[in-house]
Amino acid sequence: MLNNGQLIPQFGFGVFLVEPADAAAAVTTALQAGYRHIDTAEMYGNEKEVGEGIARSGLDRGDVFVTSKLGNASHRPEDARKAFDATLDALGFGYIDLFLIHWPLPTRYDGDFVSTWLTLEEFYRDGRARSIGVSNFQPHHLRRLHEESEITPAVNQIEVHPYLTQDGVRAFCAEHQIAIEAWSPLARGGELLADPTVDEIARRAGKTPAQVVLRWHIERGDIVFPKSVTPERVRENIAIFDFELSGADVEAISALNRDERTGPDPDNFGG
Ligand SMILES: NC(=O)c1ccc[n+]([C@@H]2O[C@H](COP(=O)([O-])OP(=O)(O)OC[C@H]3O[C@@H](n4cnc5c(N)ncnc54)[C@H](OP(=O)(O)O)[C@@H]3O)[C@@H](O)[C@H]2O)c1
């Protein structure tokens, strides 16, 4: 449950780097596999196809939780209003479940992300965004919102995986009732999925390394939405609700932390 009482499925499907031509089919595959939460963004260029995939599934709009994010070029209030209208249009929806500022962009817009946040508050108040939140915000960015605005973000979507456990941001958000959404939960595949510690736990559990890493996120209480355009992996990734990791296994995976990002540093990313 988010800090405003809205429910969010803890597990979902991400569509970053899913080509528009593949996005509707990928979303349909995920919904058929049982996913009920889709994470997209204006900058992913596939909102329209995500909306099509949901419409094609035959599910009620209310059965699928959908998130999108404000593009980096649209932070000024008048641009943010147009961008939000365009997002709803592209998705084909009258409302969105969760809308985020994608990046704080402290080196752009004279460092002003507060007026952008106040504009998202308008979308929340008029009911077209059921929840609003931020992405890639550091504690000092969140502190400014706390001091200069009224609504606490429902979520902070940040890069988190066993090589980047983000203990500081997670502790700050826990204290302020801001849910953590872990992006790139698999560290985009590759080295993490061949890590000997993860591999040993996976063999013992009779699960794949990706399943063990996703289960680690679930045990820590974060919201996750791995991306895959491979139907077998889409199904593999959601098959993590029939086992648990011991506290010792969770700790062993957390101990892999190297503070290593796969993406940009929010403090100097200018979009
Ligand atoms: N807010 C932000 O700034 C931000 C930034 C990045 C991502 N995100 C969100 O977070 C979502 C997830 O992050 P991500 O897409 O960067 O990375 P990810 O989910 O950590 O990893 C995706 C990569 O892992 C591969 N993969 C997926 N399942 C696998 C499995 N079971 N075994 C082996 N490989 C597997 C995928 O390959 P195939 O697709 O080829 O199967 C893909 O290359 C995004 O889609 C997006 O919604 C947000």
Q: What does pTM read for this prediction?
A: 0.98
Residue 209 CA from chain centroid, whole number: 21
105-135 residue pLDDT tens: 999 999 999 999 999 999 999 999 999 999 9
Task: List the Cα angle 77/81/83 in 5-degree steps.
Answer: 110
Closest-CA residue, ligand 1 atom 36, reads 228
Residue 3 CA from chain centroid, whole number: 16
Q: What is the DSSP letter of 164?
A: B
Ligand 1 shell residues, CB under 6 Å: 14-16, 39, 102, 135-136, 157, 183-189, 193, 210, 225-230, 233, 236-237, 263
Q: What is the predicted pLDDT for the residue at 164?
A: 98
**Mutate-to-test residue for ligand 1 from 11, 15, 16, highest number of ligand atoms within 8 A of CB:** 16
64-102 residue pLDDT tens: 999 999 999 999 999 999 999 999 999 999 999 999 999
Name the residue with tokens 């985020």.
Answer: 100
Q: What is the mean pLDDT of residues 163-175?
A: 98
Residue 58 to residue 69: CA distance in whole angstroms: 25
271 — pLDDT class (breaks 50, 70, 90): confident
Q: What is the mean pLDDT of residues 15-21?
A: 97
Task: List the Cα angle 136/15/105 in 5-degree steps.
Answer: 25
Tokens of 153: 């973000």
Residue 69 to residue 137: CA distance in whole angstroms: 13
Closest-CA residue, ligand 1 atom 10, reads 183
Please count the CA atoms within 13 angstroms of the CA of 29 that sit on its side-chain side.
20
Task: Write down the mean pLDDT value for the chain.
Answer: 98
